[in-house]
Chain A
Amino acid sequence: MSSARDRILGKIRSNLGRTTAPDAAAASSSRLAALGDETSPRPVWDDDDLSRFLRCFEAAAATWARVDTVADTGDAVATYLADKPAGNTVHLAPHPLLDDVSWPNTLTTARATHGREALVGVSVAELGVAETGSLVLFSGADTPTTLNFLPDYHIVLLRMDAVVPHFEDVWARMRERGGFPPRSFNFITGPSRTADVEQTLQLGAHGPRSLHLILVAARD
């Protein structure tokens, strides 16, 4: 008995009227013929990429603060949390960049390999995308995915020079890393939200209730 796989592929071939064996090279050249080698139409903006990024980021109900060096992140986090019922424990992704942060003694820090206990989570974004104001986080040894989704307060570090214009630039960066994409590749654009009750927008559906960006100006 043939497998469902073979039956499905067989039906596809017969219904496409295929007479020759499927050929990946032919498909690829036919894609080029159909689409050309130009990229998709995409958003454009007059000002610089960072301004566009921040504009979109803010429009998605996220907040941000700028620091000069990674070391200053600690104070920026403390300032952000000062008026919030977030306790004083901050769960940090095991990211080497966060080793350089000097934390004020008002905050207790804990390294987190997941987000299960975190009310406040701090992680590091690989990239920012100007076209949508999205942070890009790659899962990996130093970036637990669940730390992006379980905390109420998600704080993310991003280097100012890591903002790229479009999605295509993100794929290019990813390909440079070689191998497979990370298991989980998150574009995060603002805090969690829902409009499932009477189309009324409400933040903090299942994921973070707020998203705060620490934009790091200089490369140390």
Chain B
Amino acid sequence: MESRAHLFKPQAREALQNTDLQQALTRVQEGFVGKRKVLVDQFPDFEGLRDRGQAIKDHTLAHLDVYLEQFEAKVREAGGHVHWAETQQEAQEIIVDICRQENARMVTKGKTMAGEEVQLNEALDAAGLETVETDLGEYIIQLAKEPPSHIIAPAIHKTRQQITELFNEHHHHGTLKEKLREVPDLVDEARGILRDKFLNADVGITGANCLVAETGSMFLVTNEGNGDLTHSLPRVHVAIAGIEKLVPNLDDASTILRLLARSATGQEMTAYTTMVTGPARAEDTDGPEAFHIVLIDNGRTRMLEGRFREMLRCIRCGACMNHCPVYSAIGGHAYGWVYPGPMGSVLTPMIVGLDKTRDLPNACTLNGRCQSVCPVRIPLPDLLRDLREEQHDQGLTPKTTRYGLNIWAWFARRPRLYGLAARVGIGLLGRLGRRRGRFRKLPLAGAWTAGRDFPAPQKTTFQAAWQQRKKEKSA
């Protein structure tokens, strides 16, 4: 999707006023956060597991070229094809070409955030292919022509009522007298419609949760089983993954698996965790004839240099957004691109560009709850601060912020003047507000007083009063 991150403020405002969305968002907190906590508390050494996850990813990134070459060689040995895409356009061309060579008409897709990132659906549509998202959440938003609002629960912003209407419109041309309203009925209807697609697709496209250099394998983690039907039924399986998804070996993959489901959905293990290696073997009775994996750069190699390398540890679990109070208030769409919440507020500026995403690093209270749950210990608040520093250095900070900071800093660096000005100002403000104890409006404080009173200061500054006390004591 094209980035709408530059419209963050109006989008956030709209989200705050959208009652359906607000109702849907309360469920993120109730579901994921609580379930994760139970499992983390049960695990004997979850902090040690996070340390190990971090160490594995740091090590892999420091030797990424070595492991990528190893991975490539192993995929080839297993009979698969490895493709490299530096940009969105290259990724689109590679996959459209594969589909054309296979004379494909219908493509089923498992949920892939890398695919969202390179606008794969748009490219497949443009090439005249029937493209069907098969993850129920992705299917729902495909019908609604919306981008995902969460990286593991893409339709979390949709209410049951909205899904009822979407299904009636798309499955029954709006003619259903008794609309499907209950969850089992909705799920069952989607199952029936998508089953037909699974059985008749020519190419199945999935993402990958983890790549293993040791064996040239990829892991696919789902609950619905749609990923497995997508990769095992069509003639051709195409996987798409960022180059940072790699780990050295299967033992390292174990660590990632232990972290991933617990952090993402609060499960010890999803219903289906599948390791795929190459195409079907000669003796296999089913499975695809061909296997392709498309490795995506799209800005990632740039992040290897310097402090943003840490962001490449991300395993896309979504825990940061589940625990983010800002995400919980505005949902994913307000962020304007594929990746929302804390991880998105770092990644989007890195991929889309800092000048087009000015709000993202700033729309965060730096409360640190995301970092405290990140399975690979990405210091998200620090990285957001680093992005703010880059914005500041590139002159991308709003003028009002810069002027304000300059005036404040001018005083803060001059304690005597600061003390004097504070005493005068506070004395005045204190006298004005003494009786009521607060202000409903104050000059220059409109942003504060729009939703809050401004508590009035006490009579004088602490410094002035303390000096006074000292004088009295020594007298």
Direct touch of chains A and B (CB < 8 A): yes
User: Of A71-79, A81-89, A101-109, A181-189, which stretch is located at the interface?
Assistant: A181-189
CA distance A134 to B159 in the complex (A): 32
| Residues on the A chain within 8 Å of B411, using CB | none
How far is the CB of B32 from the nearest CB of chain A, in Å?
8
A11 contact from B153, B272, B297, Cβ within 8 A: B297
Q: Please, which residues of chain A bring their CB within 8 A of the CB of B56? A: 34-35
* Given contact pairs A9-B68, A15-B301, A30-B63, A189 touches B136 in the complex (Cβ within 8 A): no
Q: Are B301's CB and A11's CB within 8 A?
A: yes
Contact A34 B55 (CB under 8 A): yes
Contact A206 B225 (CB under 8 A): yes
Contact, CB under 8 Å: B271 / A188: yes
Tell me if B86 and A8 are in contact (CB < 8 A). Answer: yes
B163 near A183: Cβ-Cβ < 8 Å: no
Tell me if A183 and B223 are in contact (CB < 8 A). no
**Residue of B with least CB distance to A6:** B84
The answer for the CA separation of A199 and B77 in the assembled complex, in Å, is 42
Give chain A residues whose Cβ lies under 8 Å from the Cβ of B454: none
Q: Does B281 contact A (CB under 8 A)?
A: yes
Residue B302 is within 8 A (CB to CB) of chain A in the complex: yes
A194 in contact with B63 (CB, 8 Å): no
A40 touches B59 (CB 8 A): no
**Cβ-based interface call for B172 (8 A):** no
Given contacts A15-B305, A196-B140, A199-B31, contact A181 B217 (CB under 8 A): yes
Q: Is B127 an interface residue (CB 8 A)?
A: no
Interface centre among A56, A133, A186 (most CB of B within 10 A): A186
Interface residues of B in 240-290 (CB under 8 A from A): 243, 248, 250-255, 257-258, 265, 268-281, 283-287
| Residues of chain B with a CB closer than 8 A to A185's CB | 217, 274-277
Closest Cβ of chain A: how far from B147's Cβ, in Å?
15
- Tell whether B304 is near chain A: CB-to-CB under 8 Å: yes
A113 x B285 contact (CB < 8 A):
yes
A92 to chain B, nearest CB (A): 12
Q: Is the CB of B191 within 8 A of A204?
A: yes
The residue on A at minimum CB distance from B216 is: A180
Q: Does A197 contact B (CB under 8 A)?
A: yes
Residue of B nearest to A5 (CB): B84
Asked if B104 lies at the interface with its beta carbon under 8 angstroms from chain A, I say no
Q: Does B199 contact A (CB under 8 A)?
A: yes
Q: Which residues of chain A have C-beta atoms less than 8 A from B226's C-beta? A: 205-207
Interface range, A side: 35 or more
Q: Is B9 located at the chain interface by the 8 A CB criterion?
A: no
Contact among B67, B258, B283 with A140 in the assembled complex (CB-CB below 8 Å)? B283
- Given A197-B136, A198-B24, check contact A192 B285 (CB 8 Å): no
What CA separation (Å) do A184 and B188 show in the bound complex?
Answer: 27
B286, A114: Cβ atoms closer than 8 Å: yes
Instruction: Pick from B31, B159, B188: contact of A195, CB below 8 A.
Output: B31
For window 407-458 of chain B, which residues contact chain A by CB distance below 8 Å? Answer: none
Residue of B whose beta carbon sits closest to that of A38? B52
Distance to closest chain B CB from A48 (angstroms): 18
Instruction: Kindly supply a per-residue 1/0 record for chain A positions 14-46, scoring 1 wherever the CB is within 8 Å of any chain B CB and 0 otherwise.
Output: 011110001110111011001100011111100
B232–A208 touching, CB < 8 Å: no
| Interface contact B65-A9, CB-CB below 8 Å | yes
Known: A8-B297, A9-B65, A184-B232. A199 touches B52 (CB 8 A): no
Q: Are B251 and A204 in contact (CB under 8 A)?
A: no
Nearest CB in chain A: distance from B205 CB, A: 16
Rounded to whole Å, the gap between the CB of B188 and the closest CB of chain A is 8
CB of A134 within 8 A of CB of B223, answer no
Q: How far is the CB of A73 from chain B (nearest CB, A)?
A: 21
Distance in angstroms from B296 CB to nearest chain A CB is 9
Could you say which residues of chain B place their CB within 8 Å of the CB of A12? 64-65, 68, 243, 301, 304
A62 to chain B, nearest CB (A): 9
Give the contact-size bracket for chain B: 35 or more
**Contact A56 to B268, CB < 8 A, known contacts A16-B64, A196-B153, A199-B156:** yes
Q: In the docked arrangement, what's the CA distance between A191 and B44, Å?
A: 27
Which of B84, B188, B195, B223 is the most central at the interface, judged by chain A CB atoms within 10 Å of its CB?
B223
> Contact between B65 and A30 (Cβ–Cβ < 8 Å)?
no
- CA–CA, A17 and B65, complex, Å: 12
Closest to B70 in A: A24
**How far does the alpha carbon of A5 sit from the alpha carbon of B64 in the complex, in Å?**
13
A11 CA / B84 CA spacing, docked (Å): 13
Answer yes or no: B135 CB below 8 A from chain A CBs: yes
Name B233's contact: one of A16, A18, A146, A168 (CB within 8 Å): A146
Q: Are B224 and A192 in contact (CB under 8 A)?
A: yes
Smallest distance from the beta carbon of A8 to chain B beta carbons, Å? 5
* Bound form: Cα–Cα A8–B68 in Å: 10
Whether A43 lies near B225 (C-beta < 8 A) is no
Does A207 lie within 8 Å of B229, measured CB to CB? yes
- Across the interface, name the chain A residue whose C-beta is closest to B59: A34
For the complex, give the distance between the alpha carbons of A12 and B224 in Å: 36
> Is A180 in contact with B277, judged by CB distance below 8 angstroms?
yes
Minimum distance in angstroms from B258 CB to a CB of chain A: 6
Interface of B with A (CB < 8 Å)? 24, 27-28, 30-31, 42-46, 48-49, 52, 55-56, 58-59, 62-70, 77-78, 84-86, 90, 134-137, 140, 153-156, 158-160, 163, 183-184, 186-188, 191, 194-195, 198-199, 215, 217, 223-226, 228-229, 231-233, 243, 248, 250-255, 257-258, 265, 268-281, 283-287, 295, 297, 301-302, 304-305
Q: A16-B65, A183-B277, A189-B273 are in contact. List 20 more A-B contacts (CB 8 A).
A: A3-B84, A18-B65, A34-B56, A35-B59, A41-B45, A60-B269, A132-B269, A145-B284, A180-B215, A183-B280, A183-B281, A183-B284, A188-B271, A191-B271, A194-B223, A195-B153, A197-B160, A206-B191, A206-B198, A207-B226
A selection of 12 A-B contacts at a CB cut-off of 8 Å is: A3-B84, A8-B86, A9-B65, A28-B248, A42-B44, A139-B286, A181-B275, A183-B277, A194-B137, A195-B31, A198-B24, A206-B191
List the 9 closest A-B pairs by CB distance, nearest first: A207-B225, A113-B285, A205-B224, A196-B137, A15-B305, A11-B301, A132-B269, A41-B45, A185-B275
